[in-house]
Each structure stands twice: as structure tokens, then as C-alpha cells.
Structure 1
Amino acid sequence: MSSQSLPQPRSVVVLGSTGSIGTQALDVVANAPGRFRVTALAAGGGRVDLLARQAADFGAEAVAVADPAAVPALREALAAAGARARVLAGPDGVAEVAASPCDIVLNGITGALGLTSTLAALEAGRVLALANKESLIVGGPLVKRLAGPGQMIPVDSEHSALAQCLWAAGPGGADPAAVRRLVVTASGGPFRGRRRAELTDVTPEMALNHPTWSMGPVITVNSATLVNKGLEVIEAHLLFDIGFDRIEVVVHPQSIIHSMVEFADGSTIAQASPPDMRLPISLALAYPERVPGAARAVDWTTAHTWTFEPLDDEAFPSVALARHVGALGGTAPAVYNAANEVCVEAFLKGALPFLGIVDTVERVVAAHTPGPAASVEEVLAADAWARARAAELTS
């Protein structure tokens, strides 16, 4: 094969590169030489040494930090690492990186802060590998209005699984009329099987001890309260245009079946793999192709037992609350998400009990009158109101 016929590597921008998703995405890139080329990176600014090493290792042309105060330390770290990347700063700098020329943008920023980057990438016509579910949830109408067919590829393991099941069903599988229901699986978190009364003394250390996944503190606590699963129900509704009455959550502690699609004819297709985020990340980066050896497969030479249990809505009311919020629409999902972020922070600081997280979110949601989410300003105003109200309730 001549050098002229070799395929060009796919250019990639990684947002949130120093976080859990970002570091695993760069691991996928490193283990698929010649397949991808990292053109730009962005992060919050709290780990500038790691960001600088990433820029040097992958030859990034631009690096952005959301915190402008981190720029001097970043420049020093870049020089020490031998990286020559252009530096951008602030939310506008991160958004500029998100819109920069590339084949695909991976948004791994945590929380609602990822919204502006999601919108910037979509508006610039970039294909978006979406790990930042919050940006779709809080800015649903805005994001969906900008996203063209096939422009947004889910990275969450559950939504990647649902997408793969729909792709496997063939041309008719993507038709919402052909789908009876989406079945989103949940590990159950560290407190699976406990009654509500048994959760009164949960500490941050206990909540951060997830039995299956290694994630950042906010997502890990969200998995313990199952708020993360509530957010995923809203995300599934927005991604696949399936009504909330046709989206189920099932507890599957082994975390091998990542989600399922039940079709109108009674057939169910499931996606199975050992828990490893590198698989959905690699699929999103390479879509519609797959990256050989991106993650290990299920070992079919050994015995397996997979179990499925109904969700205990009394102990974990966050999913039912998310369905309610999703049905309200407008700015309600932004309020749910923002209030939760404040409550998780309060819990991690010891200012709020574990059960108080969702209880407080419910109080904030009840006090909010949803308005349209037709502009970034409306979404951010609802987000700010919810944060202020949640802070009042947790102070």
C-alpha cells in the first residue's frame, strides 16, 4: 500500500481531558496509533501539570483552561513539558476550542458547565461525542435544535448500548414506532438492596465507594443516589425520542448488560461487555467503525450469572423525580441538575445528609415554575436560581 492510500487519522478535540472520561479517551487514542490525532485539549485548570503533559504527549496545537487564573501555571508547565500549544482561557476559550476545526469533539466536561461547549461544537458543525449528559439535559431544546442527524453520538455506556442495539436492529430499528421500550440498566450503586431507613447514616466515604465504576466524585455520588440514572432517563428520552412511559430502569449489579431495547414484536436486543468506558468512548470517536482491542470482551469460557432487579423507588426516589422533571420540560431539568450539583457538594462537605440530597432537590423543583428553555440565557438563569435556592436550603 502506498503512503498516499493510507487513511488520514481522525482529528479529535478532547474537552475535560484531565478528568476520568478525558484521560480514558486519550488512552484510547494512545492505544490506536495512526487512527486519531489530538488537535486540542481543554480542562478546568485544576491539574495544569497533567494537562501540559497531555499536550506534549499528543502534540495538541491548542490548550484551554476554564479558569483564567490557571494560565500562568499552565504556561510554565507547558514550557517544562516541551509543549508548544497555543493557550486559551475562560469559558469562551473552552468554547473556541470546542468549535475549532476537527473531525470530532469529545465533551467530557462535568456538569452544566459543558453546555456552552456542546452548543459551540454543534453550531460549528462538528460531530459531538457527548459524555457531558448534563448539557443535553439542561439545554434540551437548544441542543436538539442545533444537532443534525448523526451529529451527536452518546458516550455514556447506557446510551451507547441503546444506540448499538438500535443500530443492530437494522434500518427499521431506529423508528420510535418499532420500539416498545428502552431498558436502562443500573448497577444499584454501593447501597443496592438497602431500605430508605438504612441510608440515614451514609457518609461521603461510603458513597464514593462505587462497586463497579471508577469515576469522579460528583458522578460517583450521583450513582449512589441514582440521580445519575434519573439524568440518563431524561437523556435517553431526548436522544431517541422515546416517551418517558417507555423508558424503564432495571438494577443489574454485574454491569455487563449496559442497556436493552425491547421491540414491538417482542424481541429484545442487549449490549454486553465488561464495565470499561474505553469501549463506548472508542466507538464514539471512530463511529461508524470500531477500534480493535479497545476493551476486553466477555469471557464466554467461564460461567456467568447475571441478575436483574426492580428499582426501589422509595429508597431511591431520584429516578421518579427525574421522570416528573422531564415531563415538565422547559427549564425544569436545568433546575433538577443544578440543585443536585449544589446538594452533592454540600453532602461531600458534611453539610447535608445523604438522604437530604434528593429531598432538597425535590424541594427546589417544587418551588420552581418551569419556563421555556429557548435560549442560553433562560437556561443559565434557571440554573443560577436553582443553585441559589439549594444553597439557602443547605446552609
Structure 2
Amino acid sequence: MKRIHIITDVDVTVKSDPPIRIFSLAKYLGQLGLEVRLIYPLWQSKVPEIPPGVIGVPISLPSKGYIRARIFHAKLFKRLCHLPKADIIYFRISPGMISPVIWALIAKVPFFVEVHGITEVEYGLVPFKTDSLVKKIKKWLKVRRIYIVERFILKRAAGIVFVTDQLREYYIQRYHLKKKKAVVIRNGVDLAVFRPMDKNQVRSQIGMPSDGKPVLGFVGSLTPWQGIDDMIHAVKILKGRGVLCKLYIIGRGEEERYLRSLVEEYKMAEEVIFMGPVDYSLLPVYINAFDICLVPKRNAISGYSPLKLYQYLACARPIIATAVPGLEIVSELGAGVNAKAGSPESLADAIEELIQRKEEWNEMGRRGRLYVERHASWQSIAEKTMAFFKETLGGVWP
């Protein structure tokens, strides 16, 4: 049996995008016949639920301290030296993820890397005109360090998994990577958890009133690139047109205070409801309670493959998404409509259009569910990943 060590440096006790993908991949690679070890940091008393068939390898860390990441990588290298030797190392790239690379090179073990975004953008290192000269220099030095580390890792990786076509093209050009070792494998969804449910029952379960107004819903982090303020502006525009609806926002983030102030300014506390974060087990319930689900993201050169999109599709909800790379699939599938990114007016038009097409909602939902069943289950994502291992390693793989 071939052995794979999957490594993550994020908090796996939180149900967010990175842990969900890593845990799901580990689970289904195990079901495909690999011996999977999941190596993760642990600095809280809460222990994560490791998927069945996966061997959990926690690395204990202090609960506080700015050098926690360095301690993790020092302990990680030591742990890799004592674990049964892997046939493959797999991890998501980050500026500090150098210790498994060094170990893999010494042990002559092929390693594969996941890339989900442009690192300097994710770490807020893009310079602004308002930055002082000192701040610009500091950002440049950090970006330069990231460039050197990423180039070292990606040039030596046996294979690289990107979640969007745009990321693949960006990194190939930036680091002059070989195209044959770079593949796009998008995100997926747990079809058993996210599934269609009776709308009236789930609304009763969570106490959501049914007053006849269309219910719009958003799930995700409250960050600038999500375009949540565009949703609020769109609801205001619709109210001015006499089209009344309710918008439920689930999640937390850096823009929450600004968004709440916007709702207060527009006097729309009854139309826009902030739910805060909800337990992961309740996400399918809330999604099924929505009439229409929203993905109003702003343009990004990295493109998108958001978990929420596949979760909406799996719950058979009609969707409105902005027409940015990765989200055009909504209209292509006939699972909803696309709106112009960054345009509340266009978003309002799309919402009004979809409200008027209520008789098509079930068919839109059916098309979306059928798509994820065929192409976006975590099992299919694991199968594509396994096929990439075999194709890349060739004769080394049985």
C-alpha cells in the first residue's frame, strides 16, 4: 500500500475552506487505497475529528506566541524523520512551508503542492499609493522573500495542483514552470451533507419567518472581495423599485462593522439580517431555507473556485453570481444568472429577473445538483488527484 503524508499548517478545528478541502481529500484518498497520515498543528484543547481511515498526527504547540509557526516547522521536520517513510508528501503552499520540502529532498520523496491564491495578495502585501516609503519597502522585501521561497518549492515539486485556470497560468508565467506538472483541480462538496431539503421544514427548524418575501442568502467571510456591500446596495435599489425581499448574511469578517453601518444608514434592518457565524452542521439547513443564493464576488486575477458555490449547487438552490472567472458556470449550467461584477444595479436587475422566474427555480436547482454529482463531489476530486499522482510519477507508481 502506498503511503501519503498530507500536511497542513492551519487550525483544523475551524470549519473553513482549507481544513475542509484537506480533510475531504485525506478521507477519499484513503478510500482509494492509500495509507493517509494527516499532519496538523494543535494548540487548543479541542481535538479535530479525523476522517475514518485517516491516521491523525498532531503536532502540539503553545497556545500563544509569535514564534509558534517556527516551532511547528521545527517539530514537523523532526516528526517526518520518525514517521514511516511516505511515498508522497502533499501540502498547501505557504511562505513558511519549507521544512517538508527540505525533508522530501533529503529523503528523495516526491512532493505535491496545492495553490489556492496569490500569496502576496492573501497576505495583504500589495502596495498602495497611500503607503509610506518605509511601508512600501517592507512590503517589497516580504514579497521578494515569498518569491524566492515559492520559486524554490514550485521548481522542485513533482506536481502542482491549482484550483483555478487563472492561477495556473499566472504561476506558470511567473516562475516559468513546466505546464505538464501543473494541473487544475477545483474545489468540491460533500454531497451527503449538502443536499436538497424541504424549505418549509428547515425554515421552521431555524425559526425563519415566511412572510411571502423572497429570501436571499449569502454564506462566507465578510471581506472586501466578496462584494457584500453590492448586495446591500442592490436590496436598497430593489426597495426603491417596490420589489421587497430579505437578505440573510451568514459569516464574520473585517468588513462587518462597515456593512452594519451601511444597513443602519439605509434604515434596512428589517430587509438585511446579519446572522453571524453558524455551526457548520447547520449550513445546509440555512442554504436550503434561502430562495436564492448569492455569490457577488469582485474581479480577481486569480479567478475563483469557492466552496460556497458548490454547496449552493449541491443544495439545489438557484444562484446569482457575478460574471468573474470561475463563476460563469452558473449561467452556463442554467443554474441561475450572472450579474456584472462591482455593479449593484446589475445585481439588482439579476435578483429581480430571478424572482420573476420563480417557476424555473426547481429546474435550476436540479441542474446544479446534477452537475456537482457528476463533477464536484470530494470523491471525484480525490480521484482526479490520484490520477495526477499516477500520471506525474509514471513508472514509479504501480
Smaller-chain TM-score range?
0.3 to 0.5
When Rg is computed on C-alpha atoms for both structures, the one with the higher figure is 2
